[in-house]
Chain A
Amino acid sequence: MEYFLTEEQKTIKSLARRIAEERILPVRAELDETEEFPWAIMKDLADADMFRVFVPEEYEGLGGGCLELCLVVEELSRVCSAIATCYAVNALGSFTLIDYGTEEQRRKYLPDIAGGKKLTAFAVTEPTAGSDVSAIKTTAEKVEGGYVLNGTKQFITNGGEAEIYTVIALTDKARGVRGASAILVEKDTPGFSFGKKEKKMGIRASATRELIFRNCFVPEENLIAKPGMGFLLAMKLFDHSRPGIGAQAVGIAQGALEVAVDYTRQRIQFGQPLISLPVVQDILGEMATQVEAARALVYAAARMVDSGAKKVTEESAMAKVFASDVAMKVTTDAVQICGGTGYMRDFPLEKMMRDAKITQIYEGSNQILRNAIAIELRKRKARTE
């Protein structure tokens, strides 16, 4: 399908593909096995300016938007979505700063983020607050000159590896979610430590840890926007980042589709290649159609975000929900038609199937997002009545 990408977007996409094929492909199976954080690949991505893609030009970035980011994430995920996660989370950890940070905050942090010198992370989830974000308990008590953080964040991607964290914490407990604020916390701040590294089903080369705050003091200037805006900023952030999860899902599905096509062309059963069997053709045809539909929706949502549209909750949720369900279905079907070989760990498909599952869960489970879409439908109908 032709998506009429600009020359610059094509360049970004093709360089991301080259990095994925030349640098990531040879190590993806090993990294999945060892669960080691892919520092060498992060350096390759930094050297290639990939972290500059989503940072504005004033701060040593390339000024790309959601679509450019999606192109990189898709291409990396086509080969290894664990590594794509380690990369993409830096955009998640930076967007709030980019959109709502002060000039000083941007000057201080963004050039290092753009150069790939410092990784970032975003922390909202807690043991008691998953889909119910409003249940967060981490506090940031106002004191002279700053805030003191106490509490535990859970399942934080890039936790322990990143240098810069955007943390959502309650600056006013009494006001509930309206008392939540976004605060920048740097690694090595006294009182800030990391809990255990999680053992995951998929995206195993990415690091997921607890963040633990014990009387952790951060200066006043680390607050992003105004106190009490934290919950709103988090919701706006996810509206902008969800097409990226969609792109990750499209990449995984595309990778699985290609592996399935290669295998079914070579595998001879009943005296002919599997791909000649109508039953296999039916599955492959459906897989390809689903992948393309997912891609079209993700790109369209990303373009809508880049257009500066005020409200993109529905569209970005749709892109994430649809693409992640496609990734799960396509990887499962790919394993199915490759049979015993597809199930083996020496073959890349089972990893893709494990990696696909998280895309239906994080940055809003698909069920919660369908709720959100339905709520928008109801609101719109109510407005016209």
Chain B
Amino acid sequence: MNVIVCLKQVPGTAQVKIDPETNTLIREGIENVINPFDTYALEEGVRLKERFGGKVTAMSMGPPQAEGALREAVSLGADEAILLSDKAFAGADTWATAYTLASAVNKLGQYDIIICGRQTLDGDTGQVGPELSEMLEVPFVAYVSRIEEIADGQMRVQRMVEEGHEVIEAPLPTVITVVKEINVPRLPSLRGIVKSKSAVIPVWTVPDLGVDQSRVGLAGSFTKVIKVFFPQRVCQGEIFQGELGNQVECLMGKLKDAGLV
């Protein structure tokens, strides 16, 4: 069972700031982590390896510091890790990201299953997984909450839908995205950390992938973020203080002023 896990390094906090000039996240000075949803993908990949043998390859497209996320993936059980990093990859939308990942998967060659988190914490689109399967021309199942069985080149999985669960069978190779209900990710092990520190993580660039530069990064993106903003608060709550009687009086006054009573 050869498993590829796609993961992304994201800011480890919800308190991110947006650069008003470029409309991108200000990543400086913020601790980065593996996208939480991707940790479930990695854990499931490692569990598949433990059940069926084979290996887990963690893959990430990102700036050079994304190597940190891949080292962490090795400490959590990934056998190999590959970083897709090139200035030309910067500014990619989901399509250009999926194209780059698909090119790397094709370069890797044989695989049985690709696992992604359901979405990222920063982009929140949930599109890279399905687009990746499209480009690789393999089946896709989203929101997988349980892998029931893998046998004879087929996998049966449970997927979360609004009213319950669906059970789906798909031939391998397949791309799936997983939800957090699928497992409880393990903590790193001391031996894993030691291994991760010395792990060799190759960096694949545009020439390594042999891709068309106009199809990756900002140049290859069909969508462009024009503006990122916090929604304006149109109305605000008001808290009355003091004695209860006074509070009731204030409230009634306000309601009367507004013509509501």
A binds B: yes
Give the complex CA separation of A15 and B193 in angstroms: 10
Smallest beta-carbon distance A84→chain B, Å:
17
Q: Does B235 contact A (CB under 8 A)?
A: no
Indicate if the CB atoms of B187 and A18 lie closer than 8 Å.
yes
Smallest beta-carbon distance B187→chain A, Å:
5
Smallest beta-carbon distance B128→chain A, Å:
28
B-facing residues in A299-326 (Cβ within 8 Å): none
A-facing residues in B161-187 (Cβ within 8 Å): 186-187
Give the complex CA separation of A15 and B194 in angstroms: 12
Which of A12, A23, A49, A62 neighbours the largest number of chain B CB atoms within 10 Å of its CB?
A: A49
Smallest beta-carbon distance B42→chain A, Å:
15
Indicate if the CB atoms of A44 and B187 lie closer than 8 Å.
yes
Indicate if the CB atoms of B187 and A62 lie closer than 8 Å.
no
Question: Which interface class (under 10, 10 to 19, 20 to 34, 35 or more) fits B?
Answer: under 10
Indicate if the CB atoms of B187 and A49 lie closer than 8 Å.
no
When each residue 183-203 of chain B gets 1 if its CB lies under 8 Å from chain A and 0 otherwise, what string results?
000111111111000000000
Smallest beta-carbon distance B194→chain A, Å:
8
Indicate if the CB atoms of B186 and A47 lie closer than 8 Å.
yes
Give the complex CA separation of A197 and B216 in angstroms: 65
A-facing residues in B210-259 (Cβ within 8 Å): none
Which of B190, B193, B194 neighbours the largest number of chain A CB atoms within 10 Å of its CB?
A: B190
Give the complex CA separation of A22 and B39 in angstroms: 15
Give the complex CA separation of A304 and B191 in angstroms: 26
Indicate if the CB atoms of A22 and B187 lie closer than 8 Å.
yes
The residue in chain B whose Cβ has the minimal distance to the Cβ of A23 is: B187
**Contacts of B189 on A, CB cut-off 8 Å?**
47-49
Smallest beta-carbon distance B231→chain A, Å:
32
Indicate if the CB atoms of A52 and B187 lie closer than 8 Å.
no
The residue in chain B whose Cβ has the minimal distance to the Cβ of A47 is: B186
* Total A residues in contact with B, Cβ cutoff 8 Å: 16
Indicate if the CB atoms of B187 and A47 lie closer than 8 Å.
yes
**Contacts of B190 on A, CB cut-off 8 Å?**
11-12, 15, 48-50, 52-53, 62
Indicate if the CB atoms of B193 and A19 lie closer than 8 Å.
no
When each residue 10-31 of chain A gets 1 if its CB lies under 8 Å from chain B and 0 otherwise, what string results?
0110010011001100000000
**Contacts of A48 on B, CB cut-off 8 Å?**
187-190
Give the complex CA separation of A22 and B192 in angstroms: 18
Smallest beta-carbon distance B44→chain A, Å:
16
Smallest beta-carbon distance A43→chain B, Å:
10
The residue in chain A whose Cβ has the minimal distance to the Cβ of B189 is: A49
**Contacts of A12 on B, CB cut-off 8 Å?**
190
**Contacts of B187 on A, CB cut-off 8 Å?**
15, 18-19, 22-23, 44, 47-48
The residue in chain A whose Cβ has the minimal distance to the Cβ of B192 is: A49
Indicate if the CB atoms of A11 and B191 lie closer than 8 Å.
no
Give the complex CA separation of A11 and B189 in angstroms: 10
The residue in chain B whose Cβ has the minimal distance to the Cβ of A7 is: B197
**Contacts of B188 on A, CB cut-off 8 Å?**
15, 48
Give the complex CA separation of A19 and B189 in angstroms: 10
Smallest beta-carbon distance B47→chain A, Å:
12
**Contacts of B193 on A, CB cut-off 8 Å?**
11, 15
Give the complex CA separation of A53 and B194 in angstroms: 13
Give the complex CA separation of A8 and B191 in angstroms: 11
Smallest beta-carbon distance B113→chain A, Å:
23
Give the complex CA separation of A51 and B188 in angstroms: 14
Give the complex CA separation of A18 and B189 in angstroms: 11
The residue in chain B whose Cβ has the minimal distance to the Cβ of A49 is: B190
Give the complex CA separation of A22 and B188 in angstroms: 12
Give the complex CA separation of A288 and B192 in angstroms: 35
* Nearest 5 Cβ contacts at the A-B interface: A49-B190, A49-B189, A48-B189, A49-B191, A48-B187
**5 more CB-based (< 8 A) A-B contacts, given A22-B187, A48-B188, A53-B190:** A8-B194, A12-B190, A23-B187, A47-B187, A52-B190
Q: Which residues of B contact A (CB under 8 A)?
A: 186-194
Q: Which residues of A contact B (CB under 8 A)?
A: 8, 11-12, 15, 18-19, 22-23, 44, 47-50, 52-53, 62
Identify 7 residue pairs between A and B in the complex whose beta-carbon atoms are under 8 Å apart, listed by A's number.
Answer: A19-B187, A44-B187, A47-B189, A48-B189, A49-B189, A49-B191, A53-B190
